[in-house]
Amino acid sequence: MSTCNRTEIYCSVDGGYGKRDVSDWLAKFHHVNVDLIERNCFCYGNDDAVRHVMRVAAGLESLVLGEPQILGQLKSAYASALEAGSVTGRLGRLLETSFSTAKQVRTETAIGESAVSVAATSVVLAKQLFGQLSQSKALLVGAGKTTELVAKHLRQAGIKDLTIANRTLARAQDLVDEVGGQAALIGDIPDLLVDADIVISSTASPLPVLGKGAVERALKLRKHRPFFMVDIAVPRDIEPQVGELADVYLYTVDDLANVIDENKRSRERAADDAESIINAGVRRFTSDLRISKAGDGLRRFRAHAE
């Protein structure tokens, strides 16, 4: 399994094979010095290996505690291995048990419930203000990676009307082609504000791109329908005075950081409960494995007797 920050090999070994054999194979496959791999890898066996795979599946070994993508990546690796015919017996049972244990962690703990990224937290706060977002309109300023993540989270939350404004129209259009919506120029923002309920800005501009005057004008035309605004940029994209206006809920990246820190603490508390579930999963798998081995022995004995 290979992800953005890990390459791991899960294997069932017999006949005296061990860690060095796996390292030798990996070195030859990628044309890398085996000593370099040995110096930068770890190896778990038996119950420790079982526990590690379950922790990975549950998101306890991720850079962002509890993030759900890793489970999908592990399932994809398993599907590829099944297709190649390289996963059977103990290893197959281990992965299947890991998936069910990870599902139990998700359903019985709050490990993945609190948003711990800027993009996700922005959308959670917007939902707290507007409730369902399906009828809301969003204006995203900038077309970088953060804007892309915000756009994807908004789409998942039900936003249908999405506009991306950028200094260059071509870059905005590229992002629109990926996430949907309409492309616009930053110069169009004063007119676009009138229809926008959610404004999230993340540009590299050294000066604010949205001032108090433009927001005041838009509020009058909107008959003071509220704005939800998030300024993710450093330095700021939205003038601080905008936050003083009635009917404007303005959050900065510092405000989001406070929410994220509390959410991380919540996930850490949930991780303790997750560890208990994983320990039970390890015991269950080990017990099933012993029963399976006993069954193999009985089958051999029966065959020999016959």
Q: Is 4 one of the annotated active-site residues of the chain?
A: yes
Strand partners, 228: 198, 249
- Token pair 């800027």 is at which residue? 118
CB 185 within 8 A of CB 124: no
Q: How many CB atoms lie within 10 A of CB 61?
A: 16
CATH number of the domain within which 45 lies: 3.30.460.30
- pLDDT tens, position by position, 256-284: 888 878 778 888 888 888 999 999 999 99
Residues 31 and 106 placed together within one structural domain of the fold: yes
* Catalytic residue of the set 4, 11, 41, 43: 4
Q: In what order do the strands lie in the sheet with 182-185?
A: 182-185, 161-166, 137-141, 198-201, 227-231, 248-252
pLDDT score for 116: 66
pLDDT score for 114: 66
Q: Is the pTM of the predicted complex or chain greater than 0.85?
A: no
Q: Quick check: is 55 in a domain? A: yes
In this prediction, the residues of the chain whose per-residue pLDDT falls under 50 are none
Residues 130 and 237 placed together within one structural domain of the fold: yes
Alpha-carbon distance of 298 to 293, in angstroms, equals 9
pLDDT score for 132: 86
CB 156 within 8 A of CB 258: no
CATH number of the domain within which 125 lies: 3.40.50.720
pLDDT score for 120: 83
Host domain of residue 88? 1-113
Q: Quick check: is 241 in a domain? A: yes
What are the Cα distances from residue 16, in Å, to 9, 19, 22, 92, 246? 18, 10, 12, 20, 72
Task: State the total domains in the chain.
Answer: 2
Which residue, of 98, 113, 128, is where some domain finishes?
A: 113
